[in-house]
Amino acid sequence: MRGLFIILLLLLAAFMELDANKSRDKWVVDCVMMPKNATECYPYSFNFFQQTREKEEIIGIAQTDTNETNLSTEDNSAPPEIASGERREDKNIGLYTIKEGDNINSIAQKFFIKSYDIKKLNGLNQTIITGKKLKLPLPQYKINAIDKGTYIVKKGDTLGHIALNFHLKPRNIIRFNQLNEKGSIKVGQKLILPFTYKMNDLVKQEQEREKKDTLHILTKPLGRQLKVTATAYTSHVNQTQGDPFVGAWNNRLTPGQKVIAVSRDLLNYYGLKNGSKVKISGLEGYYTVRDKMNKRYSKRIDIYMGLDKKEALRWGKRSVNIYW
């Protein structure tokens, strides 16, 4: 009996302990989150530690993400001059001083840009004022080069790059600057850029110079007269020897000039020379001797027609009187 009683007591104690464990699992909770029917709380229960660990993991992930974001931002950050859209735009905008006779369309044509872009950039309609500064969507160095018609060669430049940058043909730059056939250039060299407007300016300068020379000649009577055969030529490779834009005595030939080449006998026996002013019957104004013809010709002149092949062909071969 005594042994049975002990066994019953042990069973009862085990049952009570099991029931207590179940109650603990069910009701023993975090004191911070204690429901109404909980009998007790345990500040450091399993749930507390689990929730704390989860919070720490979340905070740790957030901090890691923040650090990674900061590192990513620093690695991908661009220099101020690139990251700033305004600064990048400023580098591609330069200033041009409006000249007499300029208008928006002529400026756009001169700088190879659209008139709409000029109007939008400056908030203009059509009216511009001489002497005022005008914003153009081009780097300042390019505006200066186009405006002056000259360019200083920089390190890394090639003739092809310069021609492409200024909408020109490499062969025209070579001819106009008397470069070798390969178009060799060097740093610091000053190149004349043969823009259409630049050619026109040179023609005007030459015409003004010729007018002055003509006025000087008219003060003296024409002393000599001779009947000669007159043909015409142009600045094309197949019509001249060497550089088609360079005449005898290293004279620069520019389309629009009133220039003639003369046979050697007119130089040796008739008194004509480099720079002589000659009047040609049937033609207006005076022509300047700037070139000489092949030795096989005599009593002959060749009238320079620039790049106008049609005009040269139309002229053909004629007999004319020259006066000097």
92-133: pLDDT as tens digits: 899 999 998 888 988 998 898 998 899 988 988 768 888 999
203-228: pLDDT as tens digits: 666 667 666 655 544 444 456 889 99
Q: Is the separation of the CB atoms in 139 and 88 below 8 Å?
A: no
Specify whether 173 is located in the same domain as 277: no
CA atoms lying within 13 Å on the CB side of residue 296:
0
**Whole-number Cα distances in Å, 159 to 39, 147, 321:** 94, 19, 45
- Give the lowest-confidence range in 18-32, 36-50, 59-73, 291-305: 59-73
Instruction: Kindly calculate the radius of gyration of the chain based on its CA atoms and give it in whole angstroms.
Output: 46
Specify whether 230 is located in the same domain as 306: yes
Q: Is the separation of the CB atoms in 247 and 291 below 8 Å?
A: yes
- CB-CB neighbours of 51 under 10 Å: 14
More confident: 320 or 79: 320
Our count of domains for the chain comes to: 2
Confidence of residue 302 (pLDDT cuts 50, 70, 90): very high
Going by C-alpha positions, the residue among 267, 275, 259, 262 that lies closest to residue 301 is 262
Domain boundary among 166, 197, 228: 197
Specify whether 114 is located in the same domain as 213: no
- 82 burial (CB, 10 Å; 0-12 / 13-18 / 19+) is exposed
Bin 285: left if φ > 0, else alpha if -120 < ψ < 50, else beta: left
Strand partners, 41: 29
d(CA 91, CA 191) in angstroms, rounded, equals 24
Q: What average pLDDT score do residues 293-306 get? A: 93
Per-residue model confidence (pLDDT) at position 64: 45
Backbone phi and psi for residue 323, each to the nearest 5 degrees, phi listed first: -130, 140
Q: Read off the CATH number of the domain in which 103 is found.
A: 3.10.350.10
| pTM passes above 0.85 | no
8-45: pLDDT as tens digits: 777 766 666 655 554 444 444 445 455 555 555 544 44
Per-residue model confidence (pLDDT) at position 261: 94
Domain for residue 94, yes or no?
yes
Q: What is the mean pLDDT of the chain?
A: 76
Strand partners, 322: 226, 280
Specify whether 312 is located in the same domain as 272: yes
Domain for residue 222, yes or no?
yes
More confident: 43 or 252: 252
Backbone phi and psi for residue 29, each to the nearest 5 degrees, phi listed first: -130, 180
Most confident of 8-12, 100-104, 175-179, 241-245: 100-104
- CB-CB neighbours of 229 under 10 Å: 15
Domain for residue 269, yes or no?
yes
